Amino acid sequence: MNRSVSAKYIDPLDHIWIAAAAQLGLTVERSPHGYAHTDGKGKLYLAPTEELDADDCLAQIILHELCHGLTQGEDSFHKPDWGLCNDDQSTVYADDVTRERACLRLQASLLRPYGLRQLLAPTTDFRTFYDALPRQPLDEASPRESQLTQDGLSLAHHPPYRRVLTEALAATAELHRAVARAARNSDPAKPPSPSLMSMWQSVPPPKLHKSGLPMSDGMFEAPPAATCGGCAFLKPPEKRGASYRCQRTAAPESPGKVVNPIAGACGLFEPPLDCQRCAACCRHAFSLVPIRPSDEIHWRHPQLVGRSGKDLTVLRDPERRCCAAIEGDAQEGYRCLIYAHRPRTCREFSAGTFNCLEARRRVGLDA
Nearer to ligand SF4, 138 or 268 (CB): 268
**280 lies in the site for ligand SF4, by CB under 6 A:** yes
301 near 338, Cβ under 8 Å? yes
* Least distance CB 252 / ligand SF4 (angstroms): 17
The dihedral over CA atoms of 206, 207, 208, 213, expressed in degrees to the nearest 10, equals -20
Q: Give the CA diameter of the chain.
A: 89
**281 lies in the site for ligand SF4, by CB under 6 A:** yes
**172 lies in the site for ligand SF4, by CB under 6 A:** no
**Tally of CA atoms within 13 A in the half-sphere of 233 that contains its CB:** 25
**68 lies in the site for ligand SF4, by CB under 6 A:** no
**286 lies in the site for ligand SF4, by CB under 6 A:** no
Nearer to ligand SF4, 192 or 271 (CB): 271
**259 lies in the site for ligand SF4, by CB under 6 A:** yes
215 near 207, Cβ under 8 Å? yes
Q: Residues 338-357 vs ligand SF4: string with x where CB under 6 A? A: -----------x-x----x-
**17 lies in the site for ligand SF4, by CB under 6 A:** no
Residues 6 or more apart whose Cβ sits within 8 Å of residue 102: 71, 141, 144, 145, 148, 149, 152
d(CA 270, CA 262): 15
**269 lies in the site for ligand SF4, by CB under 6 A:** yes
Interface of this chain with ligand SF4, residues 187 to 246, rule: CB under 6 A: 209, 211, 213, 228, 231, 233-234, 246
Task: Classify residue 351 by burial, with Cβ atoms within 10 Å: 0-12, 13-18, 19+.
Answer: middle
Peptide bond into 160 cis (omega under 30): yes
* Least distance CB 313 / ligand SF4 (angstroms): 17
The binding site for ligand SF4 (CB under 6 A) comprises 209, 211, 213, 228, 231, 233-234, 246, 248, 259, 265-266, 268-269, 273, 275, 278-281, 349, 351, 356, 359-360
